[in-house]
């Protein structure tokens, strides 16, 4: 039963009326400093269940730091992040159990896939299900096979990651993140380390995930993904949100001069 929730959970909530529920993610007045360097400066936005937001902006603008704050890999210095009703105030430590719960709610995919090289593809996807979600090996392997099929890699289950292309490895990393049935998926430039062609197969999986109703925050340099897949775009520069709005509007008719310059530079 537990296995049937999660991945498809979002899909059931999409059609028709959206309940006036609180947003799945609320980021308020977020501040993060490294020493005297203010890396996130009063950042805030909401994300409803089923929404996909793309975060774009120049290198060093704080995009990765923002994602890492959302699942508390970094501790914010100020402001507040609420995910699925769990509230995390900046500037204080949180009990281990709360962090563990948060990290089961939030799946993350990085630029580097970081698969375990000594484990088969199947074990890479199933191991956390046993250790973190308490599933039996049989349950975990079954769920893993479903997810590998979902990302088009069922036939790789018994191979080792080294036998897979970069695009395949990233799709395995996505399957692994989905295996704990997250309510929110974070992606930090998941295609930047890949050749364009291999990036496309990863983007196709992400697009399908978005269409299935998954809530996603995607840091990306893929402007077509931002324009065509995400519902909203958040533009960051120097630790601030300089512009946000519906994707088509921001991408086609940016209001901030800084956004315009950025889009010209990357296109």
Q: Residue 109 has which token pair? A: 């995919």
| Number of chain positions touching Mg ion (CB under 5 A) | 2
Nearer to Mg ion, 7 or 110 (CB): 110
Query: Does the protein bind ligand ADP through residue 266 (CB under 6 A)?
Result: no
Measured distance CA(9)–CA(237) in Å, rounded: 34
Least gap, CB of 63 to Mg ion (angstroms): 5
Kind plus residue range of the DSSP H or E element containing 5: none
Instruction: Name which position in 27, 30, 31, 39 contacts ligand ADP (CB under 6 A).
Output: 39
Least gap, CB of 57 to ligand ADP (angstroms): 6
Q: Which of helix, strand or coil describes residue 62? A: coil
Query: Does the protein bind ligand ADP through residue 234 (CB under 6 A)?
Result: no
Cα 225 to chain centroid, rounded: 14
DSSP output for 88-153: EETTS---HHHHHHHHHHEEEE-SS----TTS-HHHHHHHHHHHTT---HHHHHHHHHHHHHHTT-
Q: Residue 222 has which token pair? A: 């893929």
Least gap, CB of 217 to ligand ADP (angstroms): 13
Sites for ligand ADP among residues 41-60 (CB under 6 A) = 59-60
Using CA atoms, how far residue 256 sits from 230, 241, 243, 244, 245, in Å, is 19, 11, 7, 10, 12
Least gap, CB of 236 to ligand ADP (angstroms): 7
- Among all residues, whose Cβ is closest to Mg ion? 64
Among the residue ranges 1-9, 64-72, 102-110, 234-242, the one whose residues contact Mg ion (CB under 5 A): 64-72
Handedness of CA 236, 37, 190, 183 (dihedral sign): negative
Phi/psi at 231 (5° precision): -80, -40
Query: Does the protein bind ligand ADP through residue 34 (CB under 6 A)?
Result: yes
Please choose which of Mg ion, ligand ADP, none residue 230 contacts, taking the beta carbon within 5 to 8 angstroms, the exact cut-off set by kind: none
Query: Does the protein bind Mg ion through residue 64 (CB under 5 A)?
Result: yes
Instruction: Name which position in 65, 72, 105, 191 contacts ligand ADP (CB under 6 A).
Output: 65
Cα 194 to chain centroid, rounded: 17
Query: Does the protein bind ligand ADP through residue 192 (CB under 6 A)?
Result: no
Query: Does the protein bind ligand ADP through residue 169 (CB under 6 A)?
Result: no
Query: Does the protein bind ligand ADP through residue 61 (CB under 6 A)?
Result: yes
Q: Residue 58 has which token pair? A: 């120049």
Least gap, CB of 64 to ligand ADP (angstroms): 3
Residues near ligand ADP (CB under 6 A): 34, 39, 59-65
């Amino acid at each position: 039963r537990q296995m049937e929730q999660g991945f498809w959970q979002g899909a059931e909530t999409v059609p028709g009326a959206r309940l006036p529920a609180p947003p799945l993610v609320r980021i308020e007045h977020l501040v993060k400093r490294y020493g005297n360097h203010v890396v996130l400066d009063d950042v805030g936005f909401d994300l409803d269940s089923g929404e996909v937001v793309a975060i774009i902006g120049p290198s060093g603008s704080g995009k990765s730091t923002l994602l890492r704050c959302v699942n508390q890999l970094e501790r914010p210095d100020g402001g507040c992040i609420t995910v699925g009703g769990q509230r995390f105030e900046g500037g204080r430590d949180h009990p281990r159990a709360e962090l563990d719960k948060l990290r089961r709610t939030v799946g993350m995919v990085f630029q580097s896939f970081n698969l375990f090289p000594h484990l088969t593809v199947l074990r890479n996807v199933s191991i956390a299900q046993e250790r973190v979600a308490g599933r039996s090996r049989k349950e975990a392997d079954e769920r893993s096979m479903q997810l590998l099929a979902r990302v088009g890699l069922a036939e790789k289950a018994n191979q080792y990651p080294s036998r897979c292309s970069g695009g395949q490895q990233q799709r395995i990393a996505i399957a692994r993140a989905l295996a704990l049935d997250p309510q929110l998926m974070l992606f930090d430039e998941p295609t930047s380390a890949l050749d364009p062609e291999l990036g496309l197969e990863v983007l196709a999986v992400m697009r399908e995930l978005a269409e299935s109703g998954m809530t996603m925050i995607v840091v990306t340099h893929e402007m077509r993904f931002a324009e065509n897949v995400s519902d909203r775009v958040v533009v960051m520069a120097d630790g601030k949100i300089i512009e946000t709005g519906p994707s088509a509007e921001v991408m086609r008719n940016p209001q901030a001069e800084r956004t315009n310059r950025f889009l010209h530079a990357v296109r």
